[in-house]
Structure 1
């Protein structure tokens, strides 16, 4: 076969799992902003009008966890009439310090050189890149992600009333939803060369999607790992990202091998490549946990990680996404 069908999915920032990712990363940002050496392994879960945050945090920062939860939910758009009221929902907090067995391996920055610092967990991480899009990301993943992001724009600026993602108010007809999605979302995202008179649109095929968000489904941090990475292309990491500081190589290791893979493809050495962490030989010192934080500048706070928690961790044109900076490479003579 010369062609085959491959699809990727995306969910929006109001999806219950993505609410949790954003809350966890918002708390990470708040801690790192005050104390760049904060150690975070943090989870969030949500159900109807309830958000719970829990995990291990060792930090000198003074953080109002409940306020961060409410501010994050409010910023997404959850108010009293959509099943999660940012101002009045129940917020539960259960936080302990990082256990000593882990701390002894990662707190070495106080006495050791960066290249000697240990990691907060074990695992395997993959980075992927392809030359099929300007973002060096798989086309299906790029289009799915951009459709989701455009849906959020439509919802927030009220270009099309009644749309909350593909969720809708009860009074809106399926015909109206389909027309709005084509006019205000699809037409602005999908290149014309991919649409013709044979294109089949599957829009709200269930026929009804009134109850959504935490009211319609429970949410938990890091359950959307394929959406966060490469949409099903290449290999995926053993662990997820949100709510983890840079000593957790589930996150930082995945970031450094994305930069490596992208640099290889951008330099014209391969059309597509998957790299695995840890990498050996000459790359290893560059990719030690302490060095990753330095090389990618991963310890800054203030809304740095929260914006990674919806619409993908890779392929984004944003100066904070340091793993997207291409390092020039050339073959050995």
Structure 2
């Protein structure tokens, strides 16, 4: 039986964190190619440091004559991402940063595995294991520590961009420690918030006075108590931030992107990868399945693991774990999953509508626990498979 009484901590980082700047640029490049062609192939990596952004990786369009045109757009895509995030610092400014574009055509050896597998169907873009997770902590069926760590930073970004809090700057990190009692989150034991700000004469107390009302607004009533520890800008001045303060790289915040450490992670990053890459699409499918298992009332908590081999279309294995909370045996859940969803790479993309330019918005504040959107964004957050799963068991 899982522990029922404990403290668990998760962290999030803002859209202005150096790694998230890079994730944003990589996903914006991906979206640009998907707008041109739904089957575009993209594996885009970004590196950022003082006054410099370097973009590399592989891209592919069926009409190769258009490739150069789209590669020429990458400079402006990167600058628009940086501008929207809000960087206009002397040493990292959207208009003056040096952008180096090293993207090139996709390897033919990688393409052949995806284009034609041994069973005459599209194969997985790589080998690997992917995990999905859901739990009854929140209405979104997300672990509460990571969910609220994200929510704090999203709210601070809103008031920064609106001009309501003009001295806040883009780079920020949050961390929430939650006490669980009888398996349910009941109290915040500590809050850590570090945010970049405008002036060196602003103290930690000054910054706390700015951010505390928004933190209290986001967290459920009663969770902050007199015993809650606050650590706001604990190192003091944080004026130099973003890639000028610390280099950034695509794919370095995979735990922030997923479940905040509450569940296993297969190790593959998401951003900059088109949905033929099962690192991304199968992780989305695993979340979709785990969420629907919990939404169907089959368990209070569920992890789904999928595994793939490059060039092979069907998953090599499907594994479910309900941590002793299941109303249905895990083996029946695994069999039901096989029955209700085609988990080949193409089947996942078709079921979830992944061949769309919907990825830039995923680059910050988590890929999971977000509301499904009318244009297909966050389709993996739907719970429309719950009835089919119940029938299948």
Q: Deviations over 1:191-211 (max 9, x none)?
A: 121012222211111112111
CA RMSD, 1 decimal: 1.8
What secondary structure is seen at the aligned counterpart in 1 of 2:92?
A: coil
1:119 is aligned to 124
Q: Could you list the runs of 5+ residues in structure 1 that have no partner in the other structure?
A: none
Q: CA deviation at 1:3?
A: 2.1
2:136 is aligned to 131
| 1:325 has 2:325 as partner | no
2:185 is aligned to none
Q: Deviations over 1:210-263 (max 9, x none)?
A: 111011000000000000000101111221100000110000000001000000
CA distance in 2, matches of 1:332, 1:247: 28
- Is 1:264–1:270's contact at 8 Å kept on the other side of the alignment? yes
2:86 is aligned to 77
Q: CA deviation at 1:149?
A: 0.8
- Is 1:265–1:272's contact at 8 Å kept on the other side of the alignment? yes
Instruction: Give me the TM-score of the superposition, normalised by structure 1.
Output: 0.93
- Aligned pair count? 325
| 1:21 has 2:23 as partner | yes
CA distance in 1, matches of 2:90, 2:345: 42
| 1:162 has 2:171 as partner | no
2:146 is aligned to 141
| 1:264 has 2:293 as partner | yes
Larger deviation, residues 237-246 vs 283-292: 283-292
RCO comparison, higher one (Cα < 8 Å, 6+):
1
| Partner residue of 1:52 out of 51, 54, 58 | 54
| Partner residue of 1:307 out of 344, 361, 378 | 361
Relative to structure 1, is the Cα distance of residues 163 and 98 closer, same or farther in structure 2, using a 3 angstrom cutoff?
A: same
Bigger proportion of residues as strand? 2
CA distance in 2, matches of 1:292, 1:51: 33
- Is 2:372–2:380's contact at 8 Å kept on the other side of the alignment? no
What secondary structure is seen at the aligned counterpart in 2 of 1:43?
A: strand
| Partner residue of 1:193 out of 218, 222, 225 | 222
Q: Could you list the runs of 5+ residues in structure 2 that have no partner in the other structure?
A: 173-194, 308-316, 319-334
Instruction: Give me the TM-score of the superposition, normalised by structure 2.
Output: 0.79
Bigger proportion of residues as helix? 1
1:67 is aligned to 76
